[in-house]
Amino acid sequence: MAFDAGMLYAVLNEIKENVLGLRVEKVHQPTKDEIVLLMRGRRLSVNLGSVCPRIALTELVKDNPQAPPMFCMLLRKHLCGAVLESVAQCGFDRVARLAFRGVDEMGYLSVKHLYAELMGKYSNLVLTDEQDKIIAVAKPIDFSDSEIRQLLPGLTYAPPPLQEKDDPLTVTKERFFALAAAYPRERSAVRFLTDSFLGTATVCAREIVFRAAGATDAALGDTSPEGLWQAFSARFSRLISGQNCPQITRNAEGEPIAFGYDVYTHLEGCIAERTESFGALFDLYFGERDRIERIHSRAADLLRLVSHTESRLTKKLALQKDELADSERAEEYRRMGEFITAELYRLKRGATSFTATDYSTDPPTSVTVPLDGRLSPSANAQRYFKLYRKAKTAREMLATQIALSERELIYIQSVAAFLSRAETEADLLELREELALAGYGARMKKYAPQKTKKSKPLEFVSPSGYRVLCGKNNLQNEQLTFRVAGKGDLWFHAKGIPGSHVILICDGAEPPEEDYTFAATVAAEHSSATADPVAVDYTRVKNVKKPPAAKPGYVTYKTNYTAFVSMKNKK
């Protein structure tokens, strides 16, 4: 997996074919590491994340922050209305230059350059004028960061210095052989390729060596120079001619492990999945991971709150259950007090124990009663009766407290499940509102109620055409169950685990069996279930009740049935 110079070369060709000559209509910055340019319905994304920085067309629509960052505002000022005039790669390196022609604030024609440096943790995005004077930088670099190269507004932009390696797109056969002859023969052929040629990722070098020698770990001395050249030149000839195969490589479990612009034959036991474009490739490969990272970034305080609360409640429940186990000795304390009372006439101060006869058993048994030698016999009896009353009261109170703690833990686990499936900023805002209503507002950093457009519940259509609604948080669950659904509609929920309320709108009718299965499957897929099959309870909405003062989303129900379904689309 690598977005190397060869991948950038292929992606830029795709960008040229699709958006060259189009006007920039909008500029968005959904996250601090991503810029999206909208051009006549096409979205050009530049991602500066340290894991895999990239530039590509995308179909994914992401929520934007309510207040755009300053860098985004500067890009809007200089690029909105401008036409993408040219796209080029700076040498055979991971730097792309996009030239935009537009009109400045004085009404004169002007050219702006947008440099995308896609180099891991050093990735950056730089906006310059026609003379490459820097206007704005996504990640400014001053003298304290680097003495060699600074990126600050007002300075002249210079691309990162190229390494002292050959360009694989222009190298000749004679030069290739000369480099191979000068390289240590005992070192691997893969290392030779990565050390000698610009922008060649290790995974690409392994593929070239595998095609030439049949193994990825072959030494350069054991590899035919002619065979290595043929595999090398064939790969880059296909890249130059545009014969690219954007594809994802999956392992035996179906998990994506690599992507590229050519086939990887050296990855044994893997399956290659070709995509229609590089944009579709990155949407498929990074879409879910980016969503999770975006949620983690914007909901870091919620994740900490939920995690810490769940941990606290788990420890609290363990302590309460230990105390409840201790309170089970209440009857033992009572019996000890009664034994002492019955034997007061023969007990003396200072005794540490005595043997009493328990006549409640058949036959009677002898019981050793411990005493506190510092207390009188009557005081020892009162101590045991006091322990009895305390244990009895604790047993009654702990049963109530344990029930409350378990209910709160279930609620927090449901919030955690909904948080893991949140997709938009509106989803996060509703979860914040829900936690505030549940009494956790003081624990959320700088929480303040906001008037925002509410997100809508998920909606599906059953095989017979019935509407199926699915809540995305506990507030939506309550809204669907007690306000949207009718008394005769059907209610579904995964049995005994956090999940969404699912409503099958049928107005009291009896839907076909496949509709029951469809709605139950939706409930299973939108729950925290991990094992197949999943037990899903269902009943009419009229049988679902909310206890007074219960947490959002907590309900009780009766007269229900249970179905077992498979999670076909569970991620």
Is 321 a member of any domain?
yes
Confidence band for 95, pLDDT divided at 50, 70 and 90: very high
Task: Judge whether 266 and 206 are in contact, CB under 8 Å.
Answer: yes
Domain edge (last residue) among 259, 293, 327: 293
Q: Identify the sign of the CA torsion 124, 95, 273, 232.
A: negative
Least confident of 51-55, 85-89, 483-487, 515-519: 51-55
In angstroms, the Cα distances linking 84 to 32, 110, 228 are 23, 12, 39
The model's pLDDT over 219-259, given as tens digits with 9 standing for 90+, comes to: 999 999 999 999 999 999 988 988 888 888 888 877 778 88
End residue of a domain, out of 92, 111, 137 = 137
Which pLDDT score, from 0 to 100, does residue 269 have?
Answer: 80
Number of domains in the chain: 4
Q: Are residues 115 and 180 in the same domain?
A: no
Mean pLDDT of 392-420: 86
Question: What's the pLDDT tens digit per position in 244-253?
Answer: 888 888 888 7
pLDDT at 426: 77
541, pLDDT greater than 80: yes
Tokens 């030439």, located at residue = 212
**288 and 225 share a domain?**
yes
Residues 492, 518 share a domain:
yes
Please report whether residue 481 resides in a domain. yes
Cis before 533 (ω within 30): yes
User: How much is the pLDDT for 567?
Assistant: 77
In the sheet with 109-117, reading across from the earlier edge strand, the strands are 83-89, 95-103, 109-117, 124-128, 134-137
Whole-number pLDDT of residue 108: 87
Task: Indicate whether 544 belongs to any domain.
Answer: yes
66 and 34 housed in the same domain: yes
The fraction of the chain above a pLDDT of 90, given in percent, is 49
Q: Which structural domain, as residue segments, surrounds residue 42?
A: 5-137
Q: Do 180 and 289 sit in the same domain of this protein? A: yes
The pLDDT of residue 550 is 85
Residue 444 clears pLDDT 70, i.e. is over it: no
pLDDT in tens, 133-164: 999 999 999 888 888 888 999 999 998 887 88
Summarised one tens digit per residue, pLDDT across range 327-363 is 778 888 888 888 889 888 888 888 889 988 888 888 8
Same structural domain for residues 119 and 179?
no
Range in 58-62, 176-180, 415-419, 451-455 the model is least confident about: 451-455
Give the chain's radius of gyration (CA, Å): 35
pLDDT of residue 147: 81
Identify whether 56 is part of a domain: yes
Q: Is the pLDDT of residue 30 over 60?
A: yes
Across 169-298, the runs of DSSP E, i.e. the strands, are 247-250, 256-260, 271-274
- pLDDT for res 571: 44
pLDDT of residue 22: 95
Residue 540 or residue 301, greater confidence: 540
Residue 291 reports pLDDT greater than 80: no
Shared domain check, 216 and 112 = no
pLDDT value, residue 348 = 87
> What's the mean pLDDT in 364-380?
90
> Would you say residue 228 lies in a domain?
yes
43 touches 110 (CB < 8 A): no
Give the model's pLDDT for residue 41: 87
Give the residue carrying structure tokens 């409350």.
404
Q: Is residue 146 part of a domain?
A: no
Distance of CA 407 to the CA centre of its chain: 26
**How many angstroms separate the CA atoms of 551 and 477, rounded?**
12
Would the pLDDT of 75 be above 90? yes
Regarding whether 486 and 385 lie in a shared domain, the answer is no
Q: What does the pLDDT look like over 377-403, one tens digit per residue?
A: 999 999 999 988 888 888 878 888 888
pLDDT band of residue 31 (cuts 50, 70, 90) is confident
Q: Are residues 187 and 277 in the same domain?
A: yes
- What's the average model confidence in pLDDT over 100-108? 87
Q: What is the pTM of this model?
A: 0.64
Q: What tens digit of pLDDT does each residue of 171-210 get?
A: 999 999 999 999 999 999 999 999 999 988 898 899 999 9
Asked whether residue 523 is assigned to any structural domain, the reply reads yes
What is the strand order of the sheet 54-58 is part of? 26-31, 34-39, 42-47, 54-58
Q: Which of 137, 154, 187 is the last residue of a domain?
A: 137
**Predicted confidence band of residue 545 (pLDDT cuts 50, 70, 90):** very high
Question: Is the pLDDT at 498 greater than 70, yes or no?
Answer: yes
Check residue 484 and give its pLDDT. 94
Contact 56, 11 (CB under 8 A): yes
User: Is 462 inside a domain boundary?
Assistant: yes
- Is residue 283 domain-shared with residue 376, that is, in the same domain? no
Tell me the mean pLDDT in the region 305-323.
89
Residues 85 and 202 in one domain: no
H/E stretch holding 96 reads strand 95-103
Q: Are strands 458-461 and 467-470 parallel, antiparallel or unpaired?
A: antiparallel
Is 365 in the same domain as 319? Answer: yes
The DSSP symbol for 42 reads E
pLDDT category of residue 569 using cuts at 50, 70 and 90: low
pLDDT of 449 reads 62
Instruction: Tell me the CATH number at 10.
Output: 2.30.310.10
